[in-house]
Amino acid sequence: MYRIRITFSKFGKARWIGNLDLHRTWARILRRAGVPIAYSQGFNPQPRMQLASALPLGIMSECELLDIWVLENISTDILQKDLATGLPSGIEVIKIAGVELKEKSLQSRLLAAEYLIELGDCIDIYELQKIIDNLLGMQSIIRQRRGKEYDMRPLIQALHVVRGDSMSQELFVRFSACPGATGRPSELLEYMDINAKNIIRTSLLFVDNDD
């Protein structure tokens, strides 16, 4: 058995594909490309694949990662060409590489996710910076998710203005993405009372495989 990692982007209409449907979409893509995907054991076998992190609905990405397990050794160059013809609009393969079977799962090593947020409304740059400074200066920010309270403040690892001109304003944010401690851009923007035109996940950060 072999393990392959696919880096792909998700833009346009594809940003409205939810996590469960994305798994199904990739299963169809791989099947149509004739990839000899391995299946799980049991009563209801499923294709052996794992996404690094669920992408919130409506957010675009240029850094999604999918690990698949295959029964035969495949040329990554050939696989990239085979997949390209069957990709739905908005999903594009960026890179394909082989991975050691013994490597820990992406989910168990994920530390943080970085986002670029294009604001929908133009805000005075000094007022915007004041909002950010006040937020970062807080010890805790209690919010609710699915009816339960949580502290959003420790989930925000970095937040700053990338571009602040009158034509386009952009924020950079790095959120914790550990199991049980994952920050979400929508909840941050809601707290800041700011609308976003577009949100793009630009990077996923992982602990080293040996750690």
Q: What percent of the chain has pLDDT over 90?
A: 73
Q: What angle do CA 35, 40, 42 make, to 5 degrees?
A: 140
Asked whether 149 and 113 are in contact (CB, 8 A), the reply is no
**Average pLDDT value for the chain:** 91
**Mean pLDDT calculated for residue range 90-117:** 94
Secondary structure element (H or E) that encloses residue 108, with its range: helix 106-109
pLDDT digits (tens, 9 = 90+) for 137-151: 999 998 888 888 889
Return d(Cα 151, Cα 118) in angstroms, integer.
25
Between 208 and 14, where is the model more confident?
Answer: 14
Lookup: tokens for 163: 């571009």
Q: Is the pLDDT of residue 12 over 90?
A: yes
Whole-number pLDDT of residue 42: 79
Q: Can you give the pLDDT at residue 179?
A: 72
In b/e form, how buried is each residue of 23-41, taking b as 16+ CB within 10 angstroms? Answer: bebbbebbeebebebbeee
What pTM does this model have? 0.92
Could you tell me if 45 and 52 are in contact, meaning their C-beta atoms sit under 8 angstroms apart?
Answer: no
What class is the 2-103 domain? alpha beta
pLDDT at 45: 86
Tell me whether residue 52 is exposed, middle or buried, using C-beta atoms within 10 angstroms of its C-beta: 0 to 12, 13 to 18, 19 or more. buried
pLDDT in tens, 36-73: 999 988 788 889 999 999 999 999 999 999 999 999 99
User: For 160-177, how does the pLDDT look when each residue is reduced to its tens digit (9 = 90+)?
Assistant: 998 766 667 899 999 998
* Confidence at residue 136, expressed as pLDDT on a 0 to 100 scale: 95
Q: Do 158 and 205 meet the contact criterion of CB atoms below 8 Å apart?
A: no
User: DSSP code of 165?
Assistant: S
90-102: buried (b, 16+ CB within 10 Å) or exposed (e) per residue?
ebbbeebeeeeee
Q: Is the pLDDT of residue 181 over 90?
A: no
Quick check: do 2-103 and 109-206 share a fold? yes
Residue ranges per structural domain of the chain: 2-103, 109-206
- Per-residue pLDDT at 210: 64
- Domain 109-206, second-level architecture: 2-Layer Sandwich (3.30)
Which residue type, as a one-letter code, is found at position 180? G
Quick one: which of 88, 108, 102, 95 has its CA closest to 66? 95
Position 211 pLDDT exceeds 60: no
